[in-house]
Chain A
Amino acid sequence: MHSRLVERGPRSLVLSLVVGLAVLGCNASQVPSGSAPSSSEPSAGQPSASGAPSKAAARDATIRWAADEPSQGLDPQIASAGASIELMALLYDTLYDFDEAGQLVPWLAETVKTSTDGLTWTFALRSNARFSDGSAITADDVKFSLDRARNGDVLKGQLSLITSIDIVDTATVSVTLSAPNGQLPLVLAAAGSAGILSKAAVEGRPDYFTSPAITSGPYTLQELVPQSRALLEANPNYWHESLPKVKTIEYIYQSDATVRQTMVAGGAADIAPISPAGAAEMGASDQFKIVTTQNLSPLFWGWDWTKPPFDNKLVRQAVAFAIDREGSIAACVYGGPEKVIWGAGPSPSDPNYVEINTYKVDRATAVKRAGELLDQAGWRAGPNGVRIANGVEGMPDGSPLKVTVPYEGTWKVAECNTLLLQQALKDVGIEIVPQAYDRAAYWGDVAAGKFAMYHGGAWAADALDFFNTWYRSGGSLTALTTHLNDPQIDAKIDAAVSSTDPAAVKATLAELQKLAVDELYTLVWGQTFNPILFTSKLDGFITTPSTALSRGLMYTDYVQQ
């Protein structure tokens, strides 16, 4: 994209007018035209050289999926960014997955047995489970993959209850836990992150993850061109008889949601995640369809609660009163009141959700309460409407209550939310300076604790997963959200994870939600959704509670005329 923008041919004056329009088309050259589906009907596939049972061949057609470029590579042990997970989800299968109905079911595992004490889980692999090169997926591969996962950055916390992984026979693996863990299936369904790898392939090639060609998932990687695209072809030995539906996926890298929308609208791509604003404006039509994700995607304000001003809980609570949750949801997420979160973070539709309306008051009351809390915290009214420190520990008297709030520079929703935050907190004397931040460095700097306050958006499958991944030390999102490392909170979460009594789980989660609303380690205030726009020529694309949107591509086919 840059090379086009820096070209300085004759300076047509009209250029300045159409600069926005030019960008919209800047990726068109990367997209080969004419990837229309073959009209041929699916034919019976040939048995693989390894003797795998025959299956229906994927339709000889290409689906062009436009999405973010994997920013953290394709090693499930270290890649936690959504963009990486999206591509890994197509390459690596997991022991569990969500099926077409959105149910969490054994996937690469054919059967799962748990011991009566809940401490031993035995996974029997599908007899026809094979990697893309035709070699069988064995218990050794599963042990290798899960050992990598539980020692890696991404799932270390969530798999911390595993004490051993043992090979029972070539197709059976036994996982032993230190305490029962009802969340284990969900963790083992983590798209990409809990993917099963070929031990021989990974150990045989030190650079395997730069271009993983032997994969367990529905697709295998044929070509990877940085800053351009990845080309995926259906795994000819995939265990599922009728998946994937289409033979080729051209994974076009495009980080701008508006450009992706234009690519689909203009025929340069078939399907792409777009922005809520784009979805609201465009709407469904005869030519295009829009579906939205099912998983919970909380939006939150993160902060450094170890340093002033947010080390004082009263300041955090003042912000919780002062922000305009409904305004942000309406203006930035294009959603209704159902997207507003007043409680700790779990969605109101979650069975373990607890309604806590501490901060749900009218605007005048919210501003008054926030002001009182800030006064108590030592932040007094100052010149130009900005509060100043007066006896705040760690801050010289007279310091203004001014906070720079970075957000991912290319995420329009984040910019919109931050501008609304600025306006809302101005009412209570907190000066917010929005800062568009380099997207590539953003989450690394969040994890490094560089920001006093920052905009965030993440995900969670349900209330238990929310606390397990956001609040537990070593949780996959803890370093990016709450930054907690509290043994007492860990113990509560472990108790909930280990419990087989739904009432006990609900009680523990209720306790955690009250704690979260009071302490505000992060301020979850709403939830967003990811609309996916696709041409009506496609059929079958689904979204599941999986963290990867792309997973739905294996169910997708062209409409048969």
Chain B
Amino acid sequence: MTFPASSQSLDARIGVGILGLIVVAAVAGPVLIGIDPNSIDVTARMQSPSAEHLLGTDSLGRDLLARLLQGARVSLMICLAAVTLATLIGSLIGIVSGYIGGVVDLFAARLIDLFFAIPTLLVAIAVVAALGPSILTTIVAIATAYSPTYARVIRGAVVSVRDRPFVESSRVAGASTSRILRLDIVPAIRPVMIVQSTALVGAALIDEAALGFLGLGVQPPTSSWGSLLSASRDVLLFHPGLALIPGLAVVVTVIASNLIGEGIRAAGDPRLAQRGAEA
């Protein structure tokens, strides 16, 4: 996919750049700085930034930069895995109910409506409460919370293309339902899927942080950005940096994710693409 030559394109490129840097830092950072993020040193608690600890230390004397990078790895992994899972579940429900219609669609739509009546974070909290907090549970919880949103969008897209002439011609030519779904429907709705997935990344990151902040995300000593925010609470009034640094990381990543999503949406929108070309 190419970005149209517009302001959205520039934003998307900035977003890709920022997110790329964060991913590189998450993957390579812990190796490069060579500090164990879980190593406690009670003699070095709450230290200010120094050559030894570039972002200082937390209340247990752990290196904040090391924990931030470990948190980046964990938080990004959780939200990407959760969005992937939500995409798979949501796509399956949306495509099947949208294409088959009838009772299946009616049932799926009511089920989705039911989930929509409950805030996504509450759904995620309920899942974590039922399964116990862990990285895997957090992924499942966020995926469960977002699958209905995804399914509704995909269902709508499928309904809008299922009676188009190219689908009708396949049907008349005797193509099986499976073939039609694979070769006609999915390619037609792929831009919607991509945009929706990208948009969910930012939301999932915020919910991961919220779950971590509530103590329902990854368990200590493993850090995520949410758990770093949570751990900063006791000393928030006196060491605000412990909250601001992971908070800033969440903000920047969500902005980058949203910029990319906007760029992809613009690239898939012919009106925006034409406007960009005229400009």
Contacts and interface: CB of A to CB of B under 8 A. Distances in A.
Interface in A260-319: 261-262, 265, 275, 277-278, 281-282
B221 A434 contact: yes
Contact of A16 (B39, B120, B121, B254): B254
Given A6-B121, A11-B206, A327-B42, A16 B247 contact: yes
Contacts of A418: 220
B236 A16 contact: no
Nearest to A258: B233
> Interface on chain B toward A: helix, strand, loop, or mixed SS?
helix
Given A24-B236, A331-B42, A19 B133 contact: no
Contact of B234 (A2, A412, A419, A436): A412
B247 A20 contact: yes
B234 A17 contact: no
B91 interface: no
A420 interface: yes
A413 to B, nearest CB: 9
Interface string A1-16: 0100111100101111
A124 to B, nearest CB: 49
A436 B206 contact: no
A410 B234 CA distance: 11
B219 A435 contact: yes
A14 B236 contact: no
Contact of B250 (A16, A265, A415, A416): A16
Contacts of B61: 331
Given A14-B251, A327-B42, A19 B213 contact: yes
Nearest to B122: A6
A436 B221 contact: no
Contacts of A49: none
Interface stretch (B9-17, B182-190, B237-245): B237-245
B119 A6 contact: yes
B233 A20 contact: yes
B255 A434 contact: no
Nearest to A18: B247
Interface string B221-262: 100000001101111111100011001101100110010000
B42 A281 contact: no
A45 to B, nearest CB: 42
A17 B214 contact: no
A423 interface: yes
Interface residues of B, number: 44
Interface in B26-49: 38-40, 42, 45
Interface string B198-223: 00000101100110011100011100
B119 A416 contact: no
Contact of B237 (A18, A282, A409, A412): A282
A13 B59 CA distance: 27
Contacts of A324: 42
Contact of B229 (A6, A7, A19, A416): A19
A324 B42 CA distance: 10
Interface string A411-444: 0100110111011000000000011100000000
A20 B232 contact: yes
Nearest to A1: B214
Contacts of B244: 17
Contacts of B243: 20-21
A81 interface: no
A281 B235 contact: yes
Nearest to A261: B237
Interface in A384-408: none
A168 interface: no
B106 interface: no
A418 B60 CA distance: 12
A2 B209 CA distance: 15
B122 A2 contact: yes
Contacts of A200: none
A19 B254 CA distance: 14
Contacts of A11: 203, 206
A436 B239 CA distance: 24
For the side of the interface on A, what is the size category? 35 or more
Interface string A333-367: 00000000000000000000000000000000000
A251 B206 CA distance: 34
Given A258-B236, A419-B40, A19 B59 contact: no
Given A19-B213, A277-B235, A420-B60, A436 B220 contact: yes
Contacts of B239: 281
A513 to B, nearest CB: 28
B210 A5 contact: yes
Interface in A108-128: none
A23 interface: yes
A23 B213 contact: yes
A434 B219 contact: yes
B254 A278 contact: no
A330 B42 contact: yes
Given A20-B236, A327-B42, A5 B214 contact: yes
A384 to B, nearest CB: 15
Contacts of B119: 6-8
A20 B213 contact: yes
Select the residue from A20, A257, A410 with max chain B CB neighbours within 10 A: A20
Interface in A216-259: 256-258
Interface in B126-162: 133
Nearest to A8: B119
B59 A331 contact: yes
Contacts of B205: 16
A279 to B, nearest CB: 11
A435 B132 CA distance: 10
Residue from B42, B122, B247, B255 with most neighbouring chain A CB atoms (10 Å): B42
Question: Which residue, of A24, A420, A436, has the highest number of chain B Cβ atoms within 10 A?
Answer: A436
B206 A282 contact: no
A420 B215 contact: no
25 contacts: A2-B122, A2-B125, A5-B214, A6-B121, A6-B122, A8-B119, A8-B121, A13-B254, A13-B255, A16-B206, A16-B247, A17-B244, A19-B209, A19-B229, A20-B229, A24-B233, A258-B236, A278-B235, A282-B238, A331-B40, A409-B215, A412-B234, A416-B60, A420-B40, A436-B133
Q: Which 7 A-B pairs have the closest CB atoms?
A: A6-B119, A17-B247, A331-B42, A16-B250, A281-B238, A6-B122, A327-B42
Given A6-B119, A8-B120, 8 more contacts: A11-B206, A20-B230, A20-B233, A24-B236, A282-B238, A327-B42, A434-B221, A436-B219
